A and B are shown apart, each in its own frame.
Chain A
Amino acid sequence: MDALGRDRADFEVNPLRVFHSIVLLASIITIVAFPAVTEGHAFPVRSEPRVGWTIGASPQKVTIWFDGELEPAFSSIVVYNSTKQQVDKRNSRVTGSDNSVLEVDLPALGTGIYHVYWKALSKDTHVTEGDFTFTIAAKGQ
């Protein structure tokens, strides 16, 4: 019984209406919250050479596009050959109009498997890291 003498046990709420109300409320909160969005974790979107692909000629550089702005001083790429020797030109840099592209130049490389290691610090100090390989094969292989 409540203060007005009604039996609250008989009070029924329609779950479907509550579901609609909560989804509406969640949507409003999400929409209102997002103009305040600044940065977040930076994860790779794509790369060139593409992850795990085999290509027919040495690329001039390795480029990784990220989904957020990077902090140049703490973001880098290193490329190793199959004997774990660093083969890039050690000039890893952040580029792009929104500082979301990480790249490093390469010399002319021979055939073989190459390992790319990257580390990215987003503007809000979240660190992400990863690695992948690409293969250079003689044409016709």
Chain B
Amino acid sequence: MKQCFLMLLSVLFSLLMVAANTHAHGVIGKRFIPSTLTLEDPFPSDEMDLFTFSRAPKDKEGRETSFGFEFAKRLTPDLALGVGWEYIFFDPREAGERRTSGAGNPEFSVKYAFLRSIAHEAILSAGLEVEAGGVGSKRVAERVTTISPAFYFGKGLGDLPDSLNVLKPFSITGSFSVNNPANRFTGSGDDKERNVTNLSYGVALLYSLPYLQSAVKDVGLEAPLDRMFPVVEFNFETPVSGPEKRRTTAFANPGLIWAGKYVELGVEAQVPMNNFSGKNVGVKGLIHLFIDDIWPNIFTWTP
């Protein structure tokens, strides 16, 4: 058994060590789509969220602040594995309750791009995300494991007719996932907790100033504007079971992304769109590294 495991590891490692001549992060045809802060993007990539920050709006339970890290590595040009982790601070709404903090649960993901159209700047991907329940701190992390099959898409508008040139720099990405708890209930007695299935979905609309400059019309933008992407993301979560069934939380996340040659920086506001989503505005930040560009000899391995 141990030998089989070692053999499997060595095969996996060998596959990783073979170099390929291919596109990588977020590039489809002449379109580059950066990683978005709220929704998972559709590209299997070699990339690292060196630092994510989120201070969510205050909801009925309190306010959550988190710092995170994520790493993804392609095994083939169309298949990537990822792992992410967060440290969470929680300020309860109720007076008398104390602020608490702790590690969240680790999240593992696999993503496969099953359709790419360079002419139409389009990509479709499917994935599976698993949050390993009970691994993180009991104070802030869910005790139940969640398994989420997901679907992702991305589409640039570069194939619009020339009369709509001004719209060509737009691209739309989106995701849809079903978050299934592995157990209906966790805990016992007074501590018993019902775990519900949620639908998570959303779209991101990006305007690429680099695309405008290099493919539509050079309007003379200088740094840093020439690498900027104004963005707005809309994300929703709808419970499909439990007492809060169909009470959808909804957020609009307008922001700015700057994508350099090796680093991407992003900031977004998180604006609740209904009463279930909280009251004040939250904020998110991202430092993202294109590790296949920074260390190409190490991270451009794919079979």
Q: Between A and B, how many residue pairs show CB distances below 8 Å? A: 112
Q: Is the CB of A129 within 8 A of B22?
A: no
Partner of B50, one of A29, A127, A129: A29
Q: Within the complex, what minimum Cβ distance (angstroms) separates B50 from chain A?
A: 5
Q: Is the CB of A18 within 8 A of B215?
A: no
Question: Which chain B residue has the least Cβ–Cβ distance from A124?
Answer: B296
The answer to whether residues A36 and B218 also contact, given A43-B210, A125-B300, A129-B29 and a CB cut-off of 8 A, is no
Q: Does B276 contact A (CB under 8 A)?
A: no
Q: Is the CB of A125 within 8 A of B262?
A: no
Question: Which chain A residue has the least Cβ–Cβ distance from B299?
Answer: A124
Partner of B27, one of A15, A34, A51, A128: A128
Q: Does A41 contact B (CB under 8 A)?
A: yes
Q: Within the complex, what minimum Cβ distance (angstroms) separates A59 from chain B?
A: 14
Q: Is the CB of A41 within 8 A of B293?
A: yes
Stretch with Cβ within 8 A of B (4 or more), from A5-13, A84-92, A104-112 = A5-13
Q: Within the complex, what minimum Cβ distance (angstroms) separates B81 from chain A?
A: 21
Q: Which B residues touch A40, using CB under 8 A?
A: 261-262, 290, 293-294, 296
Q: Is the CB of A19 within 8 A of B53?
A: yes
Partner of A13, one of B19, B51, B89: B89
Stretch with Cβ within 8 A of A (4 or more), from B1-9, B96-104, B179-187 = B96-104
Q: Which A residues touch B51, using CB under 8 A?
A: 22-23, 26
Partner of A15, one of B19, B20, B65: B65
Q: Does A93 contact B (CB under 8 A)?
A: no
Q: Is the CB of A41 within 8 A of B300?
A: no
Q: Does B295 contact A (CB under 8 A)?
A: yes
Number of B residues with CB within 8 Å of any CB on chain A: 43
In chain B, residues 224-258, which have Cβ atoms closer than 8 Å to a Cβ of chain A? none
In chain A, residues 27-50, which have Cβ atoms closer than 8 Å to a Cβ of chain B? 29-30, 33-34, 36-41, 43-44, 46-47, 50
Q: Does B108 contact A (CB under 8 A)?
A: no
Interface residues of B (CB under 8 A from A): 19-24, 27, 29-30, 32, 50-51, 53, 65, 67, 87, 89, 98-101, 139, 165, 210, 213-218, 261-263, 287, 289-290, 292-297, 300
Q: Is the CB of B296 within 8 A of A51?
A: no
Q: Is the CB of B23 within 8 A of A126?
A: yes
Q: Within the complex, what minimum Cβ distance (angstroms) separates B1 from chain A?
A: 35
Q: Does A56 contact B (CB under 8 A)?
A: no
Q: Which A residues touch B297, using CB under 8 A?
A: 38, 124
Rounded to whole angstroms, the CA-CA distance of A40 and B139 in the bound complex is 42
Question: Which chain A residue has the least Cβ–Cβ distance from B31?
Answer: A130
Q: Within the complex, what minimum Cβ distance (angstroms) separates A104 from chain B?
A: 17
The answer to whether residues A125 and B19 also contact, given A34-B262, A51-B217 and a CB cut-off of 8 A, is yes
Rounded to whole angstroms, the CA-CA distance of A132 and B211 in the bound complex is 10
Per-residue CB contact flags for chain A residues 100-141 toward chain B (1 = under 8 Å, else 0) read 000000000000000000000100111111111000000000
